[in-house]
Amino acid sequence: MVKKDILASSRKLRRKRIALRTGVLVIVALFLCAGFVGLFYIQKFRIQKVSAKGNYALNKKEIIENISDSLNGKYFGIFPRDNIFIIPKEEIKSNLLAAFPRVKSVFLNRDFPNSLFVEIKERKPAALFCENNESALPALPNQGEPTDKSTYRQGKCSFVGEDGFIFGKAALFSGNVYLKFYREGGGNGKTITQLKNLMEFVKLASKENIKITKIILAGEELRKFYTSEGWYILLNNNNDTQITFENLKLALENKIKENRKYLDYIDLRFGNKVYYKFK
């Protein structure tokens, strides 16, 4: 009986020791975790200065405020997002790109121990995209006689970047500072596809004293180039720019010649087959 009591007492003591050791380990682990988390709260390593450069049209204060908003709060309700070691770099970039369509790219640079430098690259305007105020744009040649071939109301305009991305409202321009694009029938879209090719055609045309005043985006592929002379050119997005321009030159020099002033349109959509119509 005495032996059983000794064994029971020994087991109870062993359990107490194990529980005590476990409790100590838990407390130590908690202290270590608290110490680890505490490192992220050291003021010296929390972002205290945000600088931005590269903007020329955007408001620097608004950019910095957007970045500061991205640095607010905590990860999992524990780790501060403004700690220089764990700042949300990708989120800062995506938030800036979403808030400011004019921004083309964002570069972040951490300056230890507590500064963040942000360099942005803004899109440079290459053209204007304008909302049309007319109820209808000129019909295609095979749909009837074009109406109001020479004038469009400007409406509200946005800038178009070199990559075709439409961004930012533009002030009203009294002259042709930028080439203007319109979308037939209104429509949506944040980009103008094949802008580089379209602008290259305009450049080639200008060398031959053909001034393009506006381009109408008609559907997914058709493009209508309106000239200052009152006639227009029909192209597809997939037309080869150089070949199409050479066809235009040949048509004007050999087929149309002195009748150019009576020209209504030239259709260059079908490779080397050129169609044209007089008024």
Residue 136 shares a structural domain with residue 78: no
Same domain, 169 and 219: yes
Span 103-158, pLDDT tens digits: 999 999 999 999 999 999 999 999 999 876 443 344 444 433 333 333 334 457 88
Percent of the chain at pLDDT exceeding 90: 55
30: in domain = no
* Distance (Å) of CA 139 to CA 35, 151, 162, 225: 73, 14, 29, 14
| Model pLDDT, residue 173 | 58
Q: Which of 135-139, 140-144, 183-187, 204-208 has the highest mean pLDDT?
A: 204-208
- The pTM for the full model equals 0.72
Say whether 235 sits in a helix, a strand or coil.
Answer: strand
Contacts of 113 (CB under 8 A, 6+ apart): 44, 45, 84
Across 26-40, 143-157, 222-236, least confident range? 143-157
Question: Does the residue 22 lie in any domain?
Answer: no
Specify if 2 maps to a domain. no
DSSP line for 39-69? HTT-GGGB--EEEEES-SSS-HHHHHHHHHH
Question: How far is the C-alpha of 253 from the C-alpha of 277, rounded, in Å?
Answer: 15
pLDDT computed for residue 131 by the predictor: 76
Question: Into how many domains does the chain fold?
Answer: 2
115 lies in the same domain as 237: no
> Is residue 94 pLDDT above 80, yes or no?
yes
What integer pLDDT is reported at residue 5 of this predicted model? Answer: 59
Residue 194 lies in a domain: yes
User: Of 102, 122, 142, which closes a domain?
Assistant: 122
Strand partners, 158: 129, 169
- Are 129 and 243 contained in the same domain? yes
Q: Which of 122, 146, 173 is the last residue of a domain?
A: 122
CATH code of the domain covering residue 96: 3.10.20.310
* End-to-end CA separation in angstroms for the chain: 125
pLDDT-wise least confident of 33-47, 82-96, 187-201: 187-201
Among residues 81, 106, 122, which one ends one of the domains?
122
| In a shared domain, residues 133 and 248 | yes
The residue range of the domain holding 226 is 125-278
Same domain, 187 and 208: yes
**Residue among 102, 67, 101 nearest 87 (CA):** 67
pLDDT at 186: 52
- Same domain, yes or no: 92 and 145: no
- For residues 177 and 94, membership in a common domain is answered with no
At 70, is the pLDDT very low, low, confident or very high (cuts 50, 70, 90)?
A: very high
Give CB contacts under 8 A, 24+ apart, made by 238-245. Answer: 239/268, 239/269, 241/197, 241/200, 241/201, 241/204, 242/204, 243/271, 243/272, 244/201, 244/268, 245/201, 245/204, 245/205
Residue 67 shares a structural domain with residue 204? no
Per-residue model confidence (pLDDT) at position 223: 94
Q: How confident is the model at residue 185 (pLDDT cuts 50, 70, 90)?
A: low
Give the closest residue to 70 by CA, choosing from 116, 121, 122. 116
